A and B are shown apart, each in its own frame.
Chain A
Amino acid sequence: MTKKEIFLTAAFKENSIWRQILGICSALAVTNLMMNSLIMGLGVIFSLALANFSISIIRFWTPRSVRMMVQTLIIAAYVIIVDIFLKANMPEISKQLGPYVGLIITNCILMGRAEAFASQNNPLDSMVDGIGAGVGYTLVLLVISFFRELFGFGSVFGIKVFGAWWTNWSIMVMAPSAFFLLAILIWIINTHYYKVKA
């Protein structure tokens, strides 16, 4: 596969959320605001790309019995590196990202891509796959958070869209709305993109 095909497959055809139903916990937790979703997405893209790259480099020497421990360790190390770097150099962004850094370590997508792709392919392809999976994840988060923030707060990326006449829908800023929206999104994609019939 070419790099472009790897990227498109990871981002859309085999999208981690709508196709593999991975990373749902964080997708539901952080999508009440678009800025939260974007920051979470960027953190995942960075960690996923570098973790995939590193895991792929050592794949020939990694014993099967400890491979998941190695993968977890590498993922955690990159997430902590991101955290330290942001705290030291971009403290304001770090403050916003703070609660989500821990969530990146526990994101199933990172372990999923490490196990399914990085442990069997070359480092560059693995990195492209990581970026693709991260972009696909970020797009889903942004779509869900767009509707939740719009109807829940009347704003997009914190900018007020609806005027004073708008009554915020409290349900949209609470967890259940993320379930409804994600289910609707998966239904639309399954019906129109994959042509799945009930």
Chain B
Amino acid sequence: MKDSFWFPIVFMLIIVIIFAGILSVMYRTSQPKIEAYQQETYQKLILGTVAAKLAEVTGETQQIIMDSYPESYQTHVQELDIPGLERRAFRAVVADSTIAYCFEIGGKGLWGTMQALVSTSTDFRTILDLALVSQQETPGLGARIEEDWFLAQFRNRLFVINPESDTDVTGSYEFIAETQVPENDGQLKRVTGATITSDAVLKMLRDEMNHIYNYLRNKSL
């Protein structure tokens, strides 16, 4: 019977149905939990990128703002619908006035696409904070771009056009070795063994921030 023409086909079909069925049931039952966790993680990342600014304006500490999620998120974060921008956008509000914006940005890494959330000043020129949503870089090497010391280098940094000289200041940013001490404000430390990934983060920020700035600078939100 095992050597007949139809048996392997029927057998394979049965195995596929059994295992695909098990996976479908498992996925269906787990889906709400997975989606709820993903939403919570995403919202916490947004809140995290604007927490420092919220703390500065409200007088509360960042820790209190983060600990009071989801209330703090519902009170201070609003999603914006900006036609044509093609990026998710949010604003942080305190007493009806906007204190910062947050955008979902993307770029190409060494192995795949990267997604990040970047909060900006209300003139869209300065990065307030940065958080990575997803990346597919090499674990232990490129994936270390998620580490706080690396991301912190971009905080409170002018990233679009220098208002005084009207020039793109990002051109002067350069990477130095992780172990080196920066000699001036334009030097950033790269992740050891991940030159391409470090450069990709800088390129993503430069391209995306300039795109957002040029798209929104003459628009009222």
User: Is B22 a contact of A36 with CB atoms below 8 Å?
Assistant: no
Of the candidate stretches A3-11, A14-22, A79-87, A108-116, the one touching chain B is A79-87
A65 at the interface (CB under 8 A from B): yes
> How near does chain A come to B173, taking the closest CB pair, in angstroms?
23
User: Is B33 a contact of A30 with CB atoms below 8 Å?
Assistant: no
Q: Known: A32-B141, A63-B11, A174-B193. Contact between A73 and B16, CB under 8 A? A: yes
Q: Which residues from B are CB-within-8-Å of A80? A: 23
> How near does chain B come to A33, taking the closest CB pair, in angstroms?
5
B15 at the interface (CB under 8 A from A): yes
User: Is A61 a contact of B193 with CB atoms below 8 Å?
Assistant: no
A107 at the interface (CB under 8 A from B): no
Q: Which residues from A are CB-within-8-Å of B8? A: 63, 65-66
Q: Which residues from B are CB-within-8-Å of A77? A: 19, 22-23
> How near does chain A come to B182, taking the closest CB pair, in angstroms?
18
Q: Which residues from B are CB-within-8-Å of A63? A: 2-3, 7-8, 11
Q: Which residues from A are CB-within-8-Å of B27? A: 84
User: Is A33 a contact of B19 with CB atoms below 8 Å?
Assistant: no
Q: List 24 A–B pairs whose Cβ atoms lie within 8 Å, in order of A's numbering.
A: A30-B139, A32-B139, A32-B140, A36-B139, A61-B11, A63-B11, A64-B2, A69-B12, A70-B12, A70-B15, A74-B19, A77-B19, A80-B23, A84-B26, A84-B27, A88-B34, A88-B37, A89-B33, A91-B37, A99-B136, A167-B179, A168-B192, A173-B140, A174-B193
User: Is A88 a contact of B12 with CB atoms below 8 Å?
Assistant: no
- Would you list which residues of chain B between 26 and 67 have a CB under 8 Å from chain A? 26-27, 30, 33-34, 37, 41
The proximity string for A residues 50-70 relative to B, scoring 1 for CB distances below 8 Å and 0 otherwise, is: 000000001001111110011
User: Is A87 a contact of B30 with CB atoms below 8 Å?
Assistant: yes
- Would you list which residues of chain B between 131 and 147 have a CB under 8 Å from chain A? 136, 139-141, 143
Bound form: Cα–Cα A91–B44 in Å: 15
Q: Known: A66-B11, A77-B23. Contact between A61 and B141, CB under 8 A? A: no
User: Is B2 a contact of A33 with CB atoms below 8 Å?
Assistant: no
Bound form: Cα–Cα A66–B8 in Å: 6
- Would you list which residues of chain A between 139 and 164 have a CB under 8 Å from chain B? none
The proximity string for B residues 190-220 relative to A, scoring 1 for CB distances below 8 Å and 0 otherwise, is: 0011000000000000000000000000000
The proximity string for B residues 144-186 relative to A, scoring 1 for CB distances below 8 Å and 0 otherwise, is: 0000000000000000000000000000000000010000000
